[in-house]
Structures are given as C-alpha cells and as structure tokens.
Chain A
C-alpha cells in the first residue's frame, strides 16, 4: 500500500470517527453522572433529521447544529423526566427512547427523502493547509470535525480540571454522599443527560448534513450503539473514547481499501473487524482492574431517590 493511500485512509478515518466522538463523549458525561441512557441511537436519528430539515430550509449550518442539538436534548429530556423524576428503570427507558427515536425521525423525515444537500465545505487553512502530507492530514476537514476535537478538549478539561467536573463525578460515584454535601443530584443529572442528548443530536447532524448529506430512514445505522460500547470499553476516559472512535473509523475505512485492492480476505470477516479490533485494543489498554474500578461510575444505572436516605 503506498503512502498516499495510507494518508487518505487516515483522513477518511477521522471523518468516519467523528459521529462517534460526539455521541460517545456526550454519553460519557451522562454516564459519569451515574445515568445510563441507552437511547443514543434514537437521539442521533432525531438530531440527524432535525438538523437536516433546518439545513435544507435555511442553508445555515449554525441553525442545523443548533436545532439538531436542541432536538437531541429534547429527546434526552423525555428520558430524564422518566428516569430521574418518575424513577423509571433506566435500561428500559433508554431502549424505549431508541425505538421512539427511530419512528419519530422516520415520521419527521417523510417529506425530506428527496432532497440532497450540497454538504459542507472543508476548511482551507492558508499556509498550514499547504504543508505537504501533514497539512492534508491535520487541516483538511470540515468545521464539525474540529468541533468534535474542541468538544474532546472541553470534556477532558471539565471532568478533571474543574470543580463542577469533580461534583459530576462525585454524583456518579456516590449520589447519597453528594446529596448529603448539599448538591442537587437530580438537577445535575438532568443537565448531564441533556448534554448527552445534545451531543448525540450533534453526532446525528454531522451524519445527515456533512458526512452523507441526505436524509434516509435509519441512516445512523447502529452508530449509536457503537458509541455506547465505546464509552464502556474506553473505561469512561475521554482520551480513550477519542482514540477508540478514530480506531473504529480507521479500521472501517481500511477494510474497504483492503477489499478495493482485491486482497483475498472474506468481506464478512472484514466487516466485523472494526468491532473486534476496537474492543480488543480498548480492552487491552484498559485492562488494569483498579483503574476500571476508579473510572467506572459506581452508581451507573441505579435509580436514585433523594428521599430514600
């Protein structure tokens, strides 16, 4: 394989990994607060169609992003009311949210299947973008890709360098203690869930507005589930989520290149390779049991009842 194709694979991998970066980092924040929201797939779909509608009506990327995030957050709000206020089971509510999102997005998208958007242009950064190889590798993406990197920096900084992040993590570890210290567990969890929804929605917008700028029913095609898995296998560490997302993207793209070059490996095997390799690599780098115990939110998925002290 020559060097040029190798660079092209890397560039395509970053783009392919971007929806996972958004959705998984959002879910990471939600889970760090102790809430497990399995509705990522549904939130991504609703975000995708809402962003698509906004983009096709106004042509404004900003509005598309804003409405996709809002729609994702609204979906998450349904989940939050069910699980945080009404104390419903998180696993069941999350699954229901996904099924609801699949249907709702299909319904909203009824009149939008025939539209193709122009997509969004890659940013061209003068000078930097003209450096041979490296310029292409680092400075040839659209703005949403850079946005996902910003999100990664923000999330890492927030979780580990700010007081608010510490509180969030504390609530995910021991909600009762946090409550005893005077923090409003339910309110903070609400915010975390809404943030997760907004980011899932944004991941959806990236798919429908930038990656394949067209709306088709079910276009998220399981990426929400992969994002959920990434969070767990990355043992709730933002840097590993980012790495896992790009690894998944890279292997997805590389396996197509292997096929295109006519190398004789069964395509069914290649199709499962991204999943297999990502899980394997993340499990190996995160195999330290103490670290897992430290990083995984102790109260994840457990319904918290403030009066139940």
Chain B
C-alpha cells in the first residue's frame, strides 16, 4: 500500500497522541519506594533513624513518590521473600537496612534487573544494587572529646554489641577523641553479644559505673544505657538517636544518624534516570552524622573545640584516624602525618591505646 500524504499526516497525529498519553501516564505515576527494617520503628535507635529518613524523603519529594515500610523482617530467607514481594508489587526502589539483608537483596536484584536496590552497611554492589552507610566514627570522635573533658574519673564506659569492625571503629574513634583532650583516659568495653537486650545493656552499664566509669556510651539499640546513667547520676552519650527524654540530665550529646538527604538524593536520581550503583560512605560533611544538641553543662570552650573539629572533619582538613596512633600494646599502627584509608578503616580489628581488655575473637 502506498502511503499518501494524508495517511502520513494522520499517522503522525496518532503517534503524537499515543506518546502524549504514555508521557502523561508516566508523569502521573509515582515512584514507589520500599523500605525493609530489621526491628520495629519504636522511638529511638537504628530503625527509628531510617524511618526518620523515609519521612524526610516523603516530605522532600511530596507527591512524586510513595513509600512503604515493612518492619521486623528477620535476616535470611524471610528477608528474601519480603524484598521479592515489594519488587513484585511495583516498588521500583527498595532500601534494605540491615547487614544480613545483603545476600537476599542481591538475589532479588538479579531477578528484577529493572528495579533499583540500596543496601545499608553491605560491601557488595551489583548492576542495580548500591550500598550506603555513614561514617559513624566521625561523630564518635567528637563525642569522645566531650566525654574526655567531662569525666572526673578518667574512666569511660562503652556498652558494645558485637566485635565487628564497625563497632571497633566506633570504640577507637571515641577513645582517640577523648585522649586528644585528656591522655589519661581509659575506656572500658563490655560486650553484651546482642544488638538489643535492655536488661543486659543496663547490667553492663551498671558494672562499669560501679568500676568507676562516669560517662557511659553504647553501641547497642536500646535506651537502657542512657536510662541507667540517668539513674546512677553519671553522664551518657547516646547513639543512633537523641535520647534526651530518657536522660535529660545525663545525656551530654548523641551521635545521630540522618538518612533523609541521602534517601532524597537516591530517589531523585531514579526519577531523573541518573541512578548509578555506588558504595556511598557519607559522614559529617554530607549531614549524615550529626551531634544532638550538647547539654548545657558542657563548658563553652569544649563546645567550641567540638565545633571546630566538626568543621575540620567536614572540610576534610581533619581526620579522626590521623597518626600517630598506637595500638593497645603501644606499637605505632599509624605513623605521624599519615591517616588510615577507607580500606583500613573498614577492616579495623585492633584496639587503640587507652582501651582496656581485648577484642573477643
């Protein structure tokens, strides 16, 4: 059949209509963003902060997105099922927020090559899987400065969950921060071998207080260490969330995690079709790590020092893991003038000088 001019014209109109329709349809369609949480959202802690990030994302992108979260998803096969269901039911961007979701996320990502996945604290990326976590240790260093200045007994207590590099990095950064202002500092560490057990966290905090620690911090998920500090009349540095209401007198500050900016950026890049799989490790500079308002009992010169250091970390002129750093045995592990690379940081498996005890193997 020969195409006449008239035919061509009507064909063009038809095409225009179809594409127009398709375009308007895609404009109206929202990006559906799914979140998978390890624990209930609750009122403070790891998952709470992720959920705050989700809420910030909703606020920032408004009606262009739609979010949903599934909480209390155990790591392992159950996680795979949940992630797959989200992908199947039209969620295009899925954040999985616990280390143990790494392999399930990668598996599901393979089945859904057109969807985007972001996994928190993992180390494996793929074509459609990015990873992200925060430089929590930067906040720890700053908190250490405050603790080092506020302690009377020169003994700090640290309730820790599991001996993985993430937690050890926090202990070391805290110790370095404290010793940068007070070289006499000793840090006691008690491993409770659980991310979440308020009873044990309390007992650990109490034990260290009895042994003379007068500033307590924690890398566990409940508010029990801060509550215990409040009750026993010592200071506390909260982690994950601001826990002022659990320890209005005790809390000196809190190292808080903030994912809102990152979640917004990622969702925006998916909307703009510019998303790339990346391993993002953001910190104070990007606004992912912030200190909660510092307790008024902390003297102004200490606050000024913290602010100065914070600025230094943000503009890159100061690095918490900057030599000379000695390990527990007094051996130089980072020479003067050098600082640890990200690779070294991620594999950290020793205590720095000033931490008591040894890392459980």
Contacts and interface: CB of A to CB of B under 8 A. Distances in A.
Interface stretch (B219-227, B254-262, B329-337): B219-227
Nearest to B355: A262
Interface stretch (B77-85, B119-127, B187-195): B187-195
Given A260-B188, A261-B211, A253 B203 contact: yes
Contact of A212 (B42, B227, B360, B361): B227
Given A219-B198, A257-B210, A116 B360 contact: no
Contacts of B246: 116, 214
B207 A256 contact: yes
B202 interface: yes
B350 to A, nearest CB: 14
B231 A221 contact: no
A268 interface: yes
A290 interface: no
B357 interface: yes
27 contacts: A8-B210, A12-B206, A12-B210, A106-B40, A113-B40, A114-B245, A116-B223, A212-B199, A214-B224, A216-B42, A216-B196, A216-B198, A219-B199, A256-B204, A256-B206, A256-B207, A256-B208, A259-B189, A260-B190, A260-B204, A260-B356, A260-B357, A261-B356, A262-B356, A267-B193, A271-B192, A271-B193
Interface residues of A, number: 35
B199 A260 contact: no
Nearest to B206: A12
Contacts of A16: 199, 203
A219 B227 CA distance: 14
B200 interface: yes
A263 interface: yes
Interface string A216-240: 1111010100000000000000000
A216 B243 CA distance: 14
Interface string A199-213: 000000001000111
A221 B198 contact: yes
Contacts of A288: none
Contact of B361 (A216, A257, A266): A266
A209 B356 CA distance: 33
A116 B190 contact: no
Interface string B219-249: 0001110011001000000000000011000
Contacts of A271: 191-193
B191 A214 contact: no
Contacts, number: 111
B49 to A, nearest CB: 14
Contacts of A113: 40, 42-43
Given A5-B210, A214-B227, A257-B211, A12 B193 contact: no
B227 A260 contact: no
Nearest to B230: A116
Nearest to A117: B227
Nearest to B201: A212
A253 to B, nearest CB: 6
A138 B357 CA distance: 32
B207 A262 contact: no
Contacts of B202: 211-212
A264 interface: yes
List of 5 A-B pairs having minimum Cβ-Cβ separation, nearest first: A262-B356, A256-B207, A262-B357, A267-B191, A114-B43
A213 B157 CA distance: 21
Contact of B211 (A5, A216, A266): A5
Nearest to A220: B199
In this complex, the member of A5, A214, A264 whose beta carbon has the largest number of chain B beta carbons within 10 angstroms is A214
A252 interface: yes
A119 interface: yes
Given A116-B246, A260-B157, A207 B190 contact: no
Interface in B260-317: none
Contacts of B190: 256, 259-260, 267
A114 B223 CA distance: 10
B358 interface: yes
Contacts of A257: 207, 210-211
A259 B191 contact: yes
A114 B42 CA distance: 7
Given A114-B43, A212-B202, A214-B227, A263 B197 contact: no
